[in-house]
């Protein structure tokens, strides 16, 4: 039961990031660069507090390369949500993350079975169908930014597999990413816009949905099999879309629904088949 609750809370936190970012950028005046900076800074502070409370000090934890990938994800994520709905953004992000990790596995010599190739083709077809021009197609600029965010997060996740203590490493990466976020804010200073609501949402996104969300996820992760951990993340776009309907008044189109089934179903075929062919440790 504890594992289930932790996993559920982590998925809600991840989906909540999409909702909070979309809410901040559409219903307050905060600009995307400032939202990114405050989110990363708040996440860094929250994670630093967690690491300090756990009495684990590791100034060398993390790396500048991982911090750059983390920043690229957060920045592209923020700018993408200027024009994307919560559900569409989460679906594009999740699809790009999983595709990046699957393709990296293929590059490193992993082999897919027929069912997995079919799943991968189905997922790609779903993304193409979602982005194909039409009345209900998402903004192409926002979609490309979110795909870039997903690739960056996929790279960050792959690099994170080598981290001994993921929470401490994530804290170090967030601290380093503040430098990149500061540079972005300074570069876009002429477009600076802040208000109390936007700042509050950014702090909530960084400290709670990101910082504490990652701590909860890493607490649940040891009790999950690799395929289970990948499959449970299929719930994030669904939760984000449901939240968009309930809290942001967004609508779900038939195109989005069919694309979601294709993308999430295809990825599920890949990761669940992997669990059956890879022997346990």
pLDDT tens digits, 183-225? 999 999 999 999 999 999 999 999 999 999 999 988 887 777 6
Is the distance from CB of 19 to CB of 243 less than 8 angstroms?
yes
pLDDT tens digits, 90-139? 999 988 988 888 888 888 888 888 888 898 899 889 888 888 766 567 89
Is the distance from CB of 84 to CB of 143 less than 8 angstroms?
yes
DSSP state, residue 60: T
Q: Cα separation of 254 and 146, whole Å?
A: 21
Indicate if the pLDDT at residue 60 is higher than 70: no
Provide the token pair at 233: 């993340």
Is the distance from CB of 56 to CB of 190 less than 8 angstroms?
no
Indicate the pTM of the whole model.
0.88
Q: Cα separation of 241 and 91, whole Å?
A: 9
For the chain, percent of residues with pLDDT exceeding 90: 50
Q: Cα separation of 142 and 125, whole Å?
A: 19
pLDDT tens digits, 152-169? 999 998 887 766 788 899
**What pLDDT was estimated at residue 277?**
41
Is 25 exposed, middle or buried, given 0-12, 13-18 or 19+ CB atoms closer than 10 A? buried
């Amino acid at each position: 039961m504890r594992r289930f609750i932790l996993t559920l809370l982590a998925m809600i936190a991840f989906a909540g990031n999409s909702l909070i970012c979309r809410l901040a950028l559409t219903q307050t005046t905060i600009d995307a660069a400032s939202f990114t900076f405050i989110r990363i800074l708040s996440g860094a502070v929250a994670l630093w507090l967690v690491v300090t409370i756990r009495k684990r000090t590791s100034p060398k934890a993390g790396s500048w390369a991982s911090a750059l990938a983390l920043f690229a994800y957060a920045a592209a994520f923020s700018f993408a949500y200027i024009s994307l709905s919560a559900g569409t953004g989460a679906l594009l992000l999740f699809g790009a993350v999983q595709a990046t990790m699957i393709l990296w596995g293929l590059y490193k010599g992993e082999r897919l079975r027929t069912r997995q190739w079919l799943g991968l083709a189905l997922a790609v077809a779903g993304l193409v169908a979602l982005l194909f021009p039409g009345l209900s197609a998402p903004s192409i600029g926002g979609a490309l930014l979110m795909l870039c965010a997903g690739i960056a997060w996929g790279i960050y996740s792959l690099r994170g597999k080598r981290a001994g203590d993921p929470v401490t490493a994530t804290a170090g990466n967030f601290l380093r990413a503040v430098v990149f976020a500061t540079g972005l804010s300074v570069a876009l200073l002429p477009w600076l816009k802040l208000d109390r609501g936007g700042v509050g949402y950014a702090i909530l996104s960084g400290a709670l949905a990101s910082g504490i969300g990652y701590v909860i996820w890493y607490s649940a992760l040891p009790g999950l099999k690799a395929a289970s951990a990948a499959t449970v993340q299929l719930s994030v776009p669904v939760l984000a879309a449901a939240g968009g309907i309930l809290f942001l008044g967004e609508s779900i189109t038939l195109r989005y629904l069919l694309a979601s089934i294709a993308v999430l179903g295809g990825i599920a075929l890949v990761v669940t088949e992997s669990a059956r062919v890879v022997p346990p440790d």
